[in-house]
Chains A and B, each alone.
Chain A
Amino acid sequence: MSSSVSHGTGEAHQKPLLGSMGVDSRKLGLWAFLGSETLFFVTLITTHLIFYARTKATLAAAGTLEHLDPRTHYLGIELTTVLATLLLASSLTMVLALAASKVKDWKKFRVWQMATILLGAAFVGGQVYEFIHLYHEGLKLAPQYVLEGETVKSLYGVTFFTMTGFHGLHVTIGIIWLIATYVKVAKFPDSPENPMDIELAGLYWHFVDLVWVAIFTLIYLI
């Protein structure tokens, strides 16, 4: 047995990168986490849809759906199209940053990664602007909203702000993650784990974009 000791101890270093499933452990963990996150966001979206449907039913019964529908009056298409485009563009720059890192083109990586960070920051800025705007228009984190001087009892605002607020929080965390990766790569450009670090931050970032794809259609358009 002692003869095989030296062989055996070497194994500690052999397997950390790809495990028994043939994949990187962190990447597997992140994908599973994103799977869990889909249920988080879908629950938020579903509760919003339930209360929006109820608000519409109440308004329709009272014959006031036309001029009191919260979605058509509060959620303008212009701003949200800008927001959706910003996130979509940031997904593109993110994947370009990753591609650059794979061929160790760190200069290009820095450009695309910084573009992603700035686009993300612009999105958060736009969302803050939207929230302030809606607040002044009478949509608040409260069980009623005020339109054209009329108070409508509805949970629309509560579920809207909770849902988009938590999405915004995820975007913010994503930005912090991207900055951390940017700094780390700048500090240790030779580190062999850089591409995987960037890939993980990117996966999270694309997921945040994916959530906005769903919110854009389900909440703003339909």
Chain B
Amino acid sequence: MAEHVAHDDHSVAHESHSTKFYWMIGGILAVVTALEVGIFLVESSFSATMFLVILLGLALIKGAGVIAFFMHLRGDAKIFQFVFLVPLLFAFSLCLGFLKLFSNHVGIAG
């Protein structure tokens, strides 16, 4: 059927990365993980804030890599980005909001 053919085109258009490309992404993610572990092992040579920022940054890179390339969200239909990234944003806000509400600074946690 016409639609089916169109569907195949659509998939190929967005997911035509070569296997070499996937190996490369996998390699980068492995390097980032190694970096994370390395930084963890030399924690004392960073300030607490730096340590946090670097590790969160590396985790974001890893997560973005998985979402964008392994899950092919980059370049896929916009609606997939909407139904996944909007709740992800909600989730980040939930986490930050709750950590703030339960921090000693706001102090409702007693």
Contact = CB atoms under 8 A, between A and B. Distances in A.
The answer to whether A binds B is yes
Interface in A171-222: 192, 195, 202-203, 206-207, 209-210, 213-214, 216-218, 221-222
Contact of A217 (B7, B55, B70): B55
Interface stretch (A50-58, A122-130, A134-142, A159-167): A50-58
A3 interface: no
B106 interface: no
Interface footprint category on B: 35 or more
B87 A95 contact: no
Contact of B22 (A13, A42, A92, A192): A92
Nearest to A32: B83
A14 B1 contact: yes
A102 B15 contact: yes
A160 B58 CA distance: 23
Interface in B23-69: 23, 25-26, 29-30, 33, 36-37, 40-41, 51-52, 55-56, 58-59, 62-63, 66-67, 69
A36 interface: yes
B44 to A, nearest CB: 12
Interface footprint category on A: 35 or more
Contact of A222 (B1, B52, B67): B52
Majority secondary structure, B binding face: helix
Given A31-B84, A85-B33, A43 B94 contact: yes
B99 A35 contact: no
Given A85-B33, A91-B66, A217 B58 contact: yes
A35 B7 contact: no
B3 A214 contact: no
Contacts of A218: 59
B10 to A, nearest CB: 8
Contacts of B11: 102, 195
Contacts of B56: 217, 222
Nearest to B71: A206
B94 A42 contact: yes
B26 A92 contact: yes
B84 A46 contact: no
Interface string A42-86: 110110011001100100000000000000000001000100110
A146 interface: no
A17 B4 contact: yes
Given A38-B91, A102-B15, A222-B52, A94 B70 contact: yes
Interface of B: 1-4, 6-7, 10-12, 15, 17, 19, 22-23, 25-26, 29-30, 33, 36-37, 40-41, 51-52, 55-56, 58-59, 62-63, 66-67, 69-71, 77, 79-80, 83-88, 90-92, 94-95, 98-99, 102-104, 109
